[in-house]
Amino acid sequence: MKCCLAVFLLGSIRILFSNDSSSLPNDIRWVRQSGEYKELCKQVFQQAWYQIKKQAGSGGTKWAVVVDLDETILDNSLYQVDRWGKGLGFTQESWSEWVNQKEAGLVPGAKVFLEKTRSLGGTVVFMSNRMHHNLQPTMENLKRLRVWQKEDLFLLRENKQDTKEIRRKEVLEGTGRMKKIGPLKVLAYLGDQIGDFPNKSGEVFGVSQFLLPNPTYGKW
């Protein structure tokens, strides 16, 4: 009984102070409050834009940028705050509930980057491991943030076997879900996890692959 009471009190304390930013874990607080996080994100987007601008329009080939969603375009730190406040971790059920709330914010610099990329005639391909059944709330969230356009393409995850490697190949070859669109030359990949990229290391980072900071979760 004493053990249960202690757990209850701990949970209550976490919820009570979850809105107190000074009580948050450093990783979440860094994302939500630090100037360093904001400027790093803007710097990555600026560097990506610079490289894309140098290549766009050459050769008349249809081109695209492949962009992850979570912690690359969409800021889900409020989900992290809520789970920490409740003394709970990630679950697929709670994540799906969060996605359907459509309350994610924007990663700093994301909106300007997308607008500039589209202005050059590129196609934005959102490639995320969000499940495909959450496509509609994802689009509505992007619309609310005014970063969605009808020309955007979405390659969300159909099932566990539907890896990003498979989807990247479809973009390059114009096969599968990309058959009606045809092959696209990818000028840049942007993401917050190594798995978001076709090359996991090397000199491509900062040239055609651009990594956003995310200290809150990942496969480390």
What would the pLDDT profile of 115-141 be if each residue is shown by its tens digit?
A: 999 999 999 999 999 999 999 999 999
Q: 168 versus 218: which is more confidently predicted?
A: 168
pLDDT of residue 219: 83
The per-residue pLDDT for 207 is 96
Average pLDDT over residues 157-184: 97
CA distances from 68 to 15, 23, 154, 161, 186 (A): 31, 30, 10, 18, 14
Query: Chain-wide mean pLDDT for the chain?
Result: 90
pLDDT (0 to 100) of residue 63: 96
Q: Please give the pLDDT value at position 8.
A: 39
pLDDT at 193 over 50: yes
CA gap 80, 96 in Å, rounded: 13
pLDDT at 12 over 50: no
pLDDT at 145 over 60: yes
Element (H, E) at 13: helix 2-17
d(CA 72, CA 203): 21
Tokens of 157: 């995850």
Domain boundaries, the chain: 25-211
Q: State pTM to two decimals.
A: 0.89
Residue type, 211: L
Q: Are 192 and 72 in contact (CB under 8 A)?
A: yes
Architecture of domain 25-211: 3-Layer(aba) Sandwich (3.40)
Q: What is the pLDDT of residues 54-108, one digit of tens each?
A: 998 766 789 999 999 999 999 999 999 999 999 999 999 999 999 999 999 999 9
